[in-house]
């Protein structure tokens, strides 16, 4: 096996073993943290020895299972993002599930449903991981429509240029 390939494999394995942390902010829930990092509430509870879902502002949580999500970016794009909220809350999305403006989801024209995408606001550096569950936007120049919660997480009000990273 070539040395370069061995080094690449070791680097990938090392990055998967790293644990990531999240400091609980006001308004955070285990559900919102799990969605942000592409893991489950149960994985957060297990990694942090939590018997329930009570967390406190300032608490540092180990985010198990997120390092693999964070480690692999298969494509990246830049363009305009907008958000949609109350008018569509509860309506069916193109994937068939009800739109939840408080979930970390988004609409994209062509990415497969279920694809996880990291959206970053370059101005603030804030990012959020969303799951594609709808189609859109259909306005030229726009590349993603975020749920209300996802837009709030990165400080998006109205529309703004963002960077998308498709995660694997």
Question: Which pLDDT score, from 0 to 100, does residue 15 have?
Answer: 40
Quick check: is 123 in a domain? Answer: yes
Cβ-count burial 140-161 (b if 16+ within 10 Å, e if not) = eebbbbbbbbbbbbbebeebbe
pLDDT attached to residue 81: 97
The reply to whether 13 falls in a domain is no
pLDDT given for residue 64 in this prediction: 62
The parent domain of residue 32 ranges over 19-70
Say what the pTM is: 0.60
One domain for residues 97 and 162? yes
Q: What CATH number is attached to the domain comprising 28? A: 3.10.350.10
In a domain, 109, yes or no: yes
In a domain, 66, yes or no: yes
CATH number at residue 143: 2.40.40.10
34 and 82, same domain (yes or no):
no
pLDDT digits (tens, 9 = 90+) for 28-48: 888 888 777 777 787 788 888
> Is 54 in a helix, a strand, or coil?
coil
């Amino acid at each position: 096996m070539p040395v370069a390939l061995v080094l690449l494999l070791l680097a990938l394995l090392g990055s998967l073993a790293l644990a990531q942390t999240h400091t609980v902010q006001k308004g955070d829930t285990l559900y919102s943290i799990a969605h942000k990092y592409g893991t489950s509430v149960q994985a957060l509870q297990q990694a942090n020895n939590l018997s329930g879902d009570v967390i406190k502002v300032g608490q540092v949580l180990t985010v198990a299972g997120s390092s693999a999500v964070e480690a692999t970016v298969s494509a990246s794009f830049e363009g305009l993002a907008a958000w949609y909220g109350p008018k569509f809350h509860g309506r069916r999305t193109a994937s068939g599930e009800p739109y939840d403006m408080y979930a970390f989801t988004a609409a994209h024209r062509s990415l497969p449903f279920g694809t996880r995408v990291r959206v970053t606001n370059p101005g603030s550096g804030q990012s959020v991981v969303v799951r594609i569950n709808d189609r859109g936007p259909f306005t030229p120049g726009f590349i993603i429509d975020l749920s209300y919660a996802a837009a709030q997480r990165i400080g998006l009000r109205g529309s703004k240029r963002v960077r998308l990273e498709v995660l694997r």
